[in-house]
Amino acid sequence: MEAVQPYFEQALAWAREGFNQVNAVQGLIIGVVAAFIMTQYGRIFVIALGATIIHIVADLVVPVIANGADFALPPLLETSFWRYVAVLYLGYFIVITVFYIIKRTLLRG
């Protein structure tokens, strides 16, 4: 059991960090829309991936539109970027699941 505990703690830390990344106005809006688009819970993996991609695209495009900044591609060759993407995906997985459960509960009755 002690051999598994460090992996469990690391997975829990990633889940917390992902939830914190998504727990902002942009992430919550994307999560709510994704949850209402999702018709079956079995599609959560695809929907969370789509929400993650939309979040990254929004992070790139909003400064260009709002501030007239130069468009720049994300740092695709850096591991920190891919860690951020994985954490975002996990965060969206959690947030969309919660919103989907709320949607199913409220629309059932």
- Residue 27: the pLDDT is 87
Evaluate whether 12 touches 83 at the Cβ level (below 8 Å): no
Angle at 58 between CA 37 and CA 72, to 5 degrees: 150
As a whole number of angstroms, the distance between CA 27 and CA 50 comes to 12
Domain ranges of the chain: 28-108
Spans of the chain, pLDDT less than 50: none
Evaluate whether 84 touches 12 at the Cβ level (below 8 Å): no
Q: Has this prediction a pTM greater than 0.85?
A: no
The radius of gyration of the chain from alpha carbons, rounded to an integer in Å, stands at 16
Exposed, middle or buried, 6 (CB in 10 Å: 0-12/13-18/19+)?
A: exposed
- Residue 45: the pLDDT is 96
- Residue 71: the pLDDT is 84
Helices (H), the chain: 5-22, 25-37, 44-67, 79-108
